[in-house]
Structures are given as C-alpha cells and as structure tokens.
Amino acid sequence: MSMVDASSWGAALVRISPYTFSAIGIAISIGVSVLGAAWGIYITGSSLIGAAIEAPRITSKNLISVIFCEAVAIYGVIVAIILQTKLESVPTSKMYDAESLRAGYAIFASGIIVGFANLVCGLCVGIIGSSCALSDAQNSTLFVKILVIEIFGSALGLFGVIVGIIMSAQATWPTK
Amino acid sequence: MYGFEALTFNIHSGYLEAIVRGHRAGLLTTADYNNLCQCENLDDIKMHLSATKYGPYLQNEPSPLHTTTIVEKCTLKLVDDYKHMICQATEPMSTFLEYIRYGHMIDNVVLIVTGTLHERDVQELIEKCHPLGMFDSIATLAVAQNMRELYRLVLVDTPLAPYFSECLTSEDLDDMNIEIMRNTLYKAYLEDFYKFCQKLGGATSEIMSDLLAFEADRRAVNITINSIGTELTREDRKKLYSNFGLLYPYGHEELAICEDIDQVRGVMEKYPPYQAIFSKMSYGESQMLDKAFYEEEVRRLCLAFEQQFHYGVFFAYMRLREQEIRNLMWISECVAQNQKSRIHDSVVYMF
C-alpha cells in the first residue's frame, strides 16, 4: 500500500490522519485571520482615538479603516464554514488511501492560504488606516487618496480567499 | 528591527503619537506670525493669541500685560502638554520623555547658582526657573559654596547626578567655572541621551541621532565662538565638545585651535550641511549665526514628523514649541518697545 519504508519519517507523515490535517487547516483559517484583523484594528484604533481629540470630524469617516480590517476576519469565518462542510467521514479501510490524504491536505492548505493571507492583509490595512487617520486630521483632502491605498491592500485578503476556495474544491473524499 | 516598528509601536505609544501630532497642528503658522507682527500693543497680541491654542491660558490675564506674563502662560501650555503625555507613557517612552527635561534642569541649576553668586534672592530666582526643569530640592542650591557641596547637598538625589563625575572639583563657583560646569553637564547629558537613543534602535535611533548630532555640533560652534578671547585654554575647550556628531573628531581638533570667527567659518565650510548655513552670512558677521542655526534646527525638527512610529516626534514637538515661545517673546518685546522694524531679525517661521 504505502511506497515508503515502514519506519522512516515519510511513513510517519502519511500515517497522520487526514482528519487531523483538515481540522488544523480549519483552525488556522479562522484563528490566524482573526489575529490579523485584531492586530490591524488596534493599530488603526489607537491612532484614530488620539487624532480625534484635536480633530473630531475624522471619526466617522475613518471607521472605514476599521471596517476593512473587520472584513478580513469575516473572510476567515466564511472560509472556515465552507471548509468544515467539506469534511466528510470515510470508511476506516480507506482512511489512508492516497485520495483521502489528498482531501485532507487540500483542506489544510486552503486553511493556511486563507489564514496567512488575511494576517498580512489585516496588518497592511491597519497600518495604512493609522496613517490615514493622522493625515486626515491634518489635511482633510488626503483621506480619499489614502483610502485608495487601503482598498488595494484589502484586495490581498480577497486573493487569499479566492485561492483558498479553489483549493478546497479539490477536497473530494473517496466514496464507499 | 528597523522597518517593522509599525507592527508593535501602537501598542504602547499609538495614542500618544496621535495626540502629539494633533498638538503639532496647533503650532503657529506664518500667517499667524504675520498677524502678530502687525499688532500695535500687547493687548492686540493677546487678542490674536486667543484664537490659537494659547487662548485658554491667556484669557484670564488682567489688562496691563507684560511680556513675561505672555511667555509664562505660553510655557504653561507646553508644560501641560508634556505632563499629559508623560503620565500616559510607559517604558521606554517615559524615560525618553524624562530625558527631554534634563536640559531644562541644567539651565535652572546654573540660573540659581549664578543668581546666588550675584546676591539675588532665592525666591525671585525660583520664579524665573523653567517649570519643566524643577525638582524638589532646587532651593537648596543657594546654600552651596563650591561644586563638591553642590553635588553632595542637592544634585546627588536628582537625575543629573551621573553627569557630575567630570566636574567635581573643590573650586569656588565663579562666573567662568559656572559656564564650564554648565557646558560639561550638558555634554554629559547629550552623550547619555545619544547612547539611550542608540539603544532604542530602529527609526527612533536614526532620527534622534541626527537631531542630537546637530545639537552637539551647534554647541561646539557656540562654545568656540564664545570662548574666543577668554582665558579658556585649547585643551579645556576641547574637553567641552561632545564625542559624537558630524564634527567629531577632526572638526573638534580644528575648532579647538580657532582664534577668530573667520577661522571657525573656514573649519565649518568643509562640512556640506554646515557650509549651507555659513554661506548665508557674509564675512565678519556673526549676529545672524544664531538665527541661521535656529532655522536649520527647525527645518530638521519639521522633517522628523514625516515618518510615523518613532519617538522623535515628541522631542521635535517640544523643541518646536520652545522655538515658538522664543518667537512670541521676541515679537512681544518688539511690539512693547515699539521697534517693529526689528521683528523679522529673529523670528523663525516654521510652516
């Protein structure tokens, strides 16, 4: 059945249950995305609060930065829900088949893709949001221009979600 | 790590950085200065200032205003901003903000010691001290007779204690020794501040190193020019220069042997950043040198605001406020003494 020598590391790796990989993938997808979103929100939020003391007009517009960061967490939740619907039971005899492993790895990879793409996207949007709040407080014509940069930054998370969903479509478990 | 401050700076200092940038927006612009220069008397100045951030501080002052009152109230605003920031700061920013005060402490110590030497009343001197440089036992300075007593009685409990190791002598305090003491203390303070900023690393160390190096070089030039024609020997003069900055060490060697201003100019023109300053003055003219240095300092301080996520903005804001208060003092004095033609001699415009 397995091509590798029974006592090597390769053999140990393929004997890890594909369910483990899937579960970890789902956890990373939501966990790391939320980490990125939270990180971005606090970076923006602290600057926004301080800048709004001298320039109260900036608060309502600059909440957009916080919303962009929050969107990143939502992407993570959506993909986690999609991934967990792809998780099916397989009969024990087929659990270590190549196709089973493939499905497990697909879900794992999808989770990592989405998680880390959202992590850096959240950071990016957060840092830009902080600079946006401070610049808007000094000169209100700058807001829309910096917002364009933020929109490009938030596209990064979207790329991660797209690729993650394409990967998860490959997660076909063997049938009886 | 330089370049990645953005990830963690805002945890402790994001709010305060945003606040200090808000304060920076309240600094007086060229248009404000033009309005102030058109004033006929001090009440006009008070009226114009009431539309700026100084308004709440000046509004309760009774009508025959003095220049010193205006300066005192504006300094109060600076002190309030500073206290608000430092009570919210955590390490290492609170240490950084404390360092900004030590320069004022040194000035206050020298003020009281000099005043006592010239037999002035201690209370009167304490009222003239800068509020940012006050510490508890400052009045005891009047009792000391020489430097060793000064250290033992008062300064050993203050943050200035480590700066004293180089000037502990039993000599009596006279004008010359007090100036040397001031410069030695300030040299030790600048070097300590420089080392601290280097330890912080990242954008803070890069920006602060540039600002402190300019400060050290400016003091070296001022020490040289002020000690031309006095009894200060070359070795003593060299001991007062800080051991960092663009001029260290070769510029210091050359400055130590200068005997007049044209020689100083010759030395400074070898360094491109300072050549620009000295080329604005024609030969033999040294009055404009102070203003030229202030303008260059203000230019560098404004540049510190161009980058985010470092502590240099706090230092820059404090210095810019102090420059603004100097400007206001000059304008008030010119207006009060009816010498408005001389206003533009010494006002440094910021934005």
Whether the pLDDT of residue B95 is over 80: the answer is yes
- Of the given ranges (A3-12, A29-38, B53-62, B260-269), which has the lowest mean pLDDT? A3-12
Lowest model confidence (mean pLDDT) among B125-129, B135-139, B247-251: B135-139
β-bridge partners, B146: B172
Q: What is the pLDDT of residue B282?
A: 67
SS3 content of chain B, % helix, strand, coil (to 5): 70, 0, 30
In residues, how long is chain A?
A: 176
Query: Comparing A13-27, A146-160, B147-161, B292-306, which segment has the lowest mean pLDDT?
Result: B147-161
Contact across the interface for B17 and A50, Cβ inside 8 Å: yes
pTM of the model: 0.92
In the structure, what pLDDT confidence band is assigned to residue B286 with cuts at 50, 70 and 90?
Answer: low
Query: Residue B197 — very low, low, confident or very high, per pLDDT cuts 50/70/90?
Result: very high
| B21 in reach of chain A (CB within 8 A) | yes
Residue with tokens 């033999």, as numbered in its chain:
B284
Rounded CA gap, B232 and B239, in Å?
11
Region of poorest pLDDT, from A50-54, A124-128, B155-159, B300-304:
B155-159
Task: Closest CB to A123: pick one of B7, B19, B23.
Answer: B7
Instruction: Provide the pLDDT confidence category of residue B232 given band limits of 50, 70 and 90.
Output: confident
Whether A134 has a pLDDT exceeding 60, the answer reads: yes
Given a cut of 60, whether residue A132 has pLDDT beyond it is: yes
Residue ranges of alpha helices (H) inside B201-249 are 202-226, 234-239
Interface of B with A in 23-42 (CB under 8 A): 23, 25-26
Residue B14 is nearest to which of A47, A123, A138, comparing CB atoms?
A47
pLDDT at A27 over 90: yes
Record: contact B6-A133, CB cut-off 8 A:
no
Please name which of B14, B40, B45 lies closest in space to residue B28, comparing C-alpha atoms: B45
Distances (CA, A) of A171 to A1, A18, A86, A163: 21, 11, 7, 13
Q: Do A43 and B14 touch (CB under 8 A)?
A: yes
